Amino acid sequence: MRTIFTRDWKRPDRLVVLASRSPRRSALLKQMGMSFETAHPAVESEEEYLDVKDVRRSVRELARAKARSVSATRPEALVLGADTVVVHAGAILGKPESKARALEMLEALSGKLHMVVSGVALVCEACGFALTAAEITAVRFRELTRQEIAEYLAGNDYADKAGAYGIQGSAMVFVRKIDGCYYNVVGLPVAKTISLFNAYVTRKDADNV
C-alpha cells in the first residue's frame, strides 16, 4: 500500500508552476529538489484579502487567489501560490512602498517581537485539487541604532520584502531570536509546502483505486 512515505513528492505527475517571481521562493524550491516553471500571478488589490483579525485565513486565501490566477490559464499544471506578511502591534506590514515607509517599519520592529505569517496554496484546475496551509514564525529583533537602519536602507534589499527586511541577507544581524520555521521568514514554509504536495499525491492514489 502506498503512503506519503513511499512516494516521491518532488516529482508529481504534472508540471509544477510557481505563481511567484520571488527569487527567494524559487531558490528554496530548487533546494527542495523541485523542477518547476515560474509565472507572475495576476491578483489586484492584494491588501483587500488581508485581515489582521484572521491573518492565517487571509494569507491562505491570497495564496489561493495567486495560484488560481495562474491555474486559470494553465489548468493542467500543479500551481503553487504563496504570500508572506509581517504582523506587529495589531497591524499587517507588507512590502514597503518607499524608503521612508521602510524606515518606519524597521524602527517599529527594533527591539520588538513580531510574527511572520505565510500562506501557501497548491491548485490544479484540471483535476479539481485545491489545498492551502499557513505557517507562523515569531521573530524578535535586537535594539537597532538609527545608523544601522540607515546603512541597511542605503542598499535596495528592503524593497520587495514584507516588513522591509530579508532574514537571509544582511538583515540577519537584526535578529536576536527566532521561534519556528526559518524558511517561512525567507518566504516559503518548507514543511507546509511538502505537506501540500504529499496531499496531492495521496489524493491521486486514492482516486485511482
Active-site positions read 83
C-alpha cell at 135: 505557517
Instruction: Assess contact for 119 and 63: CB atoms under 8 A.
Output: yes
Nearest CA among 51, 19, 58, 12 for reference residue 35: 12
Nearest CA among 95, 116, 91 for reference residue 185: 116
Nearest CA among 116, 111, 150 for reference residue 134: 116
For 129, list phi and psi in degrees, rounded to 5. Answer: -105, 130
